[in-house]
Amino acid sequence: MRIAYMGNGPFAVPALESLHASPHEVVQVVARPDRPRGKSQRIEPGPVALTATTLGLSLAQPDDVNAESFVEELANLAPDLLVVADFGQILRQRCLDAASKGGINIHASLLPSYRGAAPIAWAIYHGESETGVTIIQMSRRLDSGGILAMERTPIASEETAGELEVRLAQMGATLACKVTDALQDGTISATEQNDSQASLAPKLTKDDGKIDWNRTARQLHDQTRALDPWPGCFTHWVRPEGAPVRMKLLSVDVADPSGAPSAVPGTVVEAEGGKLIIATGTGTLSIARLQPAGKKPLDTASFLRGHRVRPGDQFE
């Protein structure tokens, strides 16, 4: 089949590579326009645009994929199928109609759970033990189309969102190729989603990383994994002397998962021997790696050698 592939971020790269290597023909790659990236804020292409260029594929980067002029250009290519992953724009019906078989989306959750922009992070945040990839027919409603295929996988107890994304991207690539083959052969049909079981996974913001010490130790551990690598979790050490110090929590462990609070949540209960343990709403949390504002990342032992943290100090 003639494929028009739409994607932007790293999750979408393996599927593009797999479809390019398959018997199907990728006649067009559509990615978001180049934008400022990193600390230097240099204008650079996204991962899918860079991959398309490397593979020698035709690349379009419209500001608006639903613009009439671009939809006409797309339709003139006569694609059989649109394949979409991690794209960041909602396709209107006239854009979907540019392909004779419409579009399919590779979504990184077990739909209808976690519809939206950040399903991997929110699944970990909420302590899910299982997730997966769902291939759906695209419709005008966000992530609500009929399910064509689904594959499940456990979430490891220490797995971060970044690590899980790599696994799910490979799963999605394999599944997307199978679904594309089946659509060509006419051997697959869609199952309607149960909207009553739907949950949302909205786009992440930096504020999602703020630590609320009234949550349980397990919940804070999951939050730290969920927001790694972006936006990261942060808190403030309220020093007895001097201004509060903002710091990122890079890696944490549950020291005591279920004990009743031994102190007010956010209170340091141990700060010696390379250990920094803080009371939470339920249980205690051990900080393994952190990064004070404007400083390099440190393991806890190194941080404590350079900072006088004492039991009774407060984090908030």
**Which amino acids are annotated as binding site for (6S)-5,6,7,8-tetrahydrofolate, given as ranges?**
109-112
Query: Which residue from 17, 23, 43 is spatially nearest to 7, judged by alpha carbons?
Result: 17
Q: How many Å apart are CA 104 and CA 147, to the nearest integer?
A: 10
Residue 1 neighbours by CB under 8 Å, 6+ apart: 24, 25, 80, 81, 101, 180, 183, 184
Q: Tell me which residue has tokens 């724009």.
A: 89
Residue 204 neighbours by CB under 8 Å, 6+ apart: 117, 118, 121, 227, 230, 231
Buried b (16+ CB within 10 A) or exposed e, 256-287: beeeebeeebbbbbebeeeebbbbbbbbbbbb
DSSP string across 121-147? HHHHHTT-SEEEEEEEE--SSTT-SPE
Binding site residue list: 109-112
> Which residue intervals of 61-137 are DSSP H helices?
68-76, 93-96, 119-125
Q: How many Å apart are CA 14 and CA 33, to the nearest integer?
A: 20
Tokens of 4: 């028009």
Q: How many Å apart are CA 122 and CA 109, to the nearest integer?
A: 10
In this structure, how many other beta carbons lie within 10 angstroms of the beta carbon of residue 302?
14
Query: Which residue from 162, 112, 160, 129 is spatially nearest to 11, judged by alpha carbons?
Result: 162
Q: What is residue 58's three-state secondary structure?
A: coil
